[in-house]
Structure 1
């Protein structure tokens, strides 16, 4: 196989796939949850609340866990974050609420807020009883584009307030990033699907799949047929390396492969290379690197153009990748893609450094890594908006994303936006949820005031 790409399925024993893609953070049982809850100081001016993008009253819900009031704890969480179950699993708590925990100053071990949040939210989601009831119908209709975290959070809050919501989703399934873009071991057991079902239990929300903006409907259509619109379509484009040979076989967009993996009914049937190279420094780069390793790749190397401290992936994620056998190489950028018989064979990198002006520059020295598969994970871009689609008004943009105000209102009076498609995006699930929630409250005020 020396000169041929070695990409094949079934590299591992059947049992290894289930083990490798099982829950990466096993949940707490009741005893462990009570012990962990007892570690909280219930600070009056709790810095953990300030560190939470959705503003969950963390000491309150932990105190309720400590008194076995799990439903009350979950109510505290869901009031601020209806996707609290997913966020408990995928949120980088190590740089948010847990980093702010005062326990760090004493024993460098914060209260495990994420696991406690999961303990409470799982109990209520598994009970089959929705924590909220819907207000009397207002007769107002709102269109939501995108059934990802921002769109779902917005839709749930609007439905709870009595408005009728139609979600238009381009993909076959709802859930957005949680369904298609998060590593399988972070959200196993069809959790994203179960959470969508949980959100829909409020009533008053209809999801129409296979509906894409600019193809099946226009923004002008929605503004005509609905009382307000929320844009939460995320980012559909992928940044290119801009190198010759990018169209070689074996060169993949990481997000596409992760989506295929997440939708695969049988992981052992998913082909993976023996030697894998990943370019990027964010969570997507970490996720694809770890998952290919867990699929059976022998040699996985992640290459990033700057140092570890500049990577978008947290230190915890970087360490997780390394403990899973991923090699991380810093200070190198892709220079050339070398193919053999139409297939990627090796990736040539150039060493980088910071120049006298503080900008990144190449050193002129290169090295090559053999590759059966190359994954690009250098960021996503927003697909060009078909703007107002026949309308006379245009959405104001900031760079390649939508400009919004503090309440997530766009330049159009009846259109709001949130999640990765807006200029103020933090590229976090929890931040997208907050965008949707803030927009829903603003839309509700707009509709009740009769601004239209």
Structure 2
């Protein structure tokens, strides 16, 4: 590493002031009325639509697109919210290119699907801008439910329970509700405080109290909650971060990518966030892509994502990989971190070992290469680090049945913390909704 790079290190304000707003502007600008109608007219309104089957929340996609095409965006929003009260955020962050849009018949016929995600945003944005509420609370039941975690799963569960007339108290360890949507996604995917706008919209149904700064295991335990509430829903997400397992990973300049993304999301002035000149990101999922792109947008000169397997094995979609490449991020495959290089306790580079597949298993090849770096982000997955003696775990996460019920008769769970979750906002919303219906049925 050059002496100049060592002197510069990690620093803020790498770009001209006006560049930051431009770099972090909306990834997909909203459609106007004309654009939405033109796009809606491309839909075939398929019977037994494959796009609907591909949606984890099973939104009636042909129906809401038809409603847009007939000039009824509020009707379209109601169709969306019937299945997914977080439809606004999902329209922004859902990997539609691998879900509904990949299944679109237009994709099969032309290689160009209907822009389902952008049409969903068009409708839900109008409803939220007008504060159009489609749901009123049922008569109060007197039942009390505790929801732990105010992320997508918890919000979806709380809203549906409140709709059924139950009283809900949400607890979250962070200062703000929103979970992954507030702290864990790229800033350019949901700018201008949209995550909190959606939280406010959801909570406006009434019957939901939110207590932030309250953590399970620290401020209360599961036994206390089940004793004082008729039911409990766990939407805890994944708070643990996997170790790099590389020599020297404690060096200054190595940090968790999810913390970097959260800091950026909460920053009042992103120009003040320090970023390295040469940044390396370890991982192959959405967090790695988000961290890599945002490092580049903050002014890093070189950003390299290193993944231990091949392109086809990456959890990040092809669209996201191409987005990273378009932003100047280099993605290298078949490389695993071996040693963090440092001088005076600060990162100077990363030694990586070449890998390959042998008999279907990842194998180290022995040969190594080195990348210069003054900052390294770990994006190698998160883990569920809560220990519950009253709830059965499977594969390191909470085991649930088809109704999202745990082994405890009064406890349900959903989202990333449950076994089989796929770490998507839309799946968490589906879990929360389904658990709420199961809880309501059990209490009735």
Q: TM-score, normalised by structure 1?
A: 0.97
Correspondences of 1:151-300 after superposition (within 5 Å): 151-300=154-303
Structure 1 CA distance for aligned equivalents of residues 265 and 112 of structure 2:
33
Deviations 1:130-164 (A, max 9, x none): 12111110000000000000000000000001000
> Equivalent residues in 2 for 1:290-329 (5 A)?
290-329=293-332
Deviations 1:179-222 (A, max 9, x none): 00000000100000000000001000000000000000000010
Indicate conservation of the 8 Å contact 1:101/1:110, yes or no. Answer: yes
- Contact map agreement 1:276 1:372 (CA 8 A) in 2: yes
The answer for the alignment partner of 1:391 in structure 2 is: none
Tell me, yes or no, if structure 1 residue 436 matches structure 2 residue 438: no
CA contact 2:249–2:339 (8 Å) conserved in 1: no
Q: C-alpha root-mean-square deviation of aligned residues, in Å?
A: 0.8
Shift of residue 105 of structure 1? 2.1
1:386-405 aligned at under 5 Å gives the runs 387-388=388-389, 394-405=390-401
Q: Tell me how far 1:242 sits from its aligned partner.
A: 1.6
Structure 1 unaligned segments of length 5 or more: list them: 389-393
Residue 368 of structure 1: aligned partner? 370
Alignment size in residue pairs: 441
Contact 1:36–1:111 (8 Å) recurs in 2: yes
Provide Cα deviations, 1:272-320, integer angstroms capped at 9, x if missing partner: 0000000000000000000000000000000000110000000000000
Aligned partner of 1:417 in structure 2 is 413
SS, match of residue 416 in structure 2: helix
Q: 1:108 aligns with which of 111, 119, 143?
A: 111
Q: 1:3: Cα distance to partner?
A: 3.6
Measure, in 2, the Cα distance between the counterparts of 1:96 and 1:109.
14
User: In 2, distance between residues paired with 1:218 and 1:105?
Assistant: 51
CA shift, 1:241, in A, is 1.1
- Alpha-carbon distance in 2 for matches of 1:152, 1:5: 43
- 1:407-440 deviations in Å (ceiling 9; x for gaps): 1000011100000000020110000000000000
Residues in 2 aligned to 1:240 and 1:120: alpha-carbon distance in whole angstroms: 42
1:5·1:372 contact (CA, 8 Å) conserved in 2?
no
**In structure 2, distance between residues paired with 1:242 and 1:325:** 28
The answer for unaligned runs of 5 or more in structure 2 is: none
Out of 31, 38, 50, the position equivalent to 2:53 is 50
Alpha-carbon distance in 1 for matches of 2:112, 2:219: 51
| CA deviation after TM superposition for structure 1 residue 5, in Å | 5.3
Given that 1:5 and 1:345 are in contact with CA atoms closer than 8 Å, whether structure 2 keeps it comes out as no
Distance 1:174 1:9 in 2: 28
Q: Distance in 2 between matches of 1:95 and 1:334?
A: 29
Q: Tell me by how many angstroms 1:246 deviates.
A: 1.2
The answer (yes or no) to whether the contact 2:36–2:68 under 8 Å persists in 1 is: yes
Structure 1 runs (4+) deviating above 4 angstroms are none
When the two structures are superposed, what TM-score results if normalisation uses the length of structure 2?
0.98
Q: Displacement of 1:362 after TM fit? A: 1.1
